[in-house]
Copies of this chain bind each other. A is one copy, B any other.
Amino acid sequence: MPDTTEKRPEKEPAADARPRRRQARGERRIAQLLEAAASVFCTTGYTAASTNAIAREAGVSPGTLYQFFPNKEAIAIELGERLMHEMRETYSEALAPMDPATPLEEAVAAAVDRFIDFNCRHPVFFALMHGPDIPGRIAEEHDALHATLVSRVEALLSPYLPDTPGPDVARTARMCVGLYKAGLELVLAHEGEEREAYIRELKNVLYRYLEPLVMD
């Protein structure tokens, strides 16, 4: 989708016969560049990442990068959008409304497992969403994603907290997301058995935090 030219009337990948051929190489390049960007963002953060470094990492010239992205911000945005999309696609289930009969502990564990899995496979996600220096447009993306997350958690929580006032549920959801991020940081910082231990701790934290709130 990123395109230098102004007009890009198509968005869905169907029913456009012409601009196909170009996307053969192009689409691959875009993926390549996004991957490179992910790697560089992870290492240096958004602000300190240079487009030249991204191009180099992708093994192309700076000009090529700019054939697909109008500027540095757009790379981050596209990356964020793709991650967000994949997150929604693949893990909508992780936060899908569950059978209220599901024990809370199980629900929490399942959600954490899926998210951890996602985040371990996409470490940029965390990196991108954390820079204190990310420019406006990306922050918006981030906020949108965060809001989605929070509201999903809210929806997930609601059945368990039928008597809690709305604002409190919202606050609790925000806490959960925040706690998850904190745990994620620790999980990502460790490996092997220690990582597993942190995952268990994270589940504990969330479960114990929520447990007193739910009704029996």
Contact = CB atoms under 8 A, between A and B. Distances in A.
Q: Binding site of A, secondary structure by majority: helix, strand, loop or mixed?
A: helix
A134 to B, nearest CB: 8
* Chain A interface residue number, banded: 35 or more
Interface stretch (A80-88, A112-120, A154-162, A173-181): A173-181
Interface stretch (A29-37, A71-79, A97-105, A201-209): A201-209
A187 to B, nearest CB: 10
Interface of A: 2, 4-5, 42-48, 56, 127, 130-133, 171-172, 174-175, 178-179, 181-183, 185-186, 194, 197-198, 201-202, 204-205, 208-209, 211-212
Contacts of A209: 204-205, 208-209
Given A208-B209, A208-B212, A45 B132 contact: yes
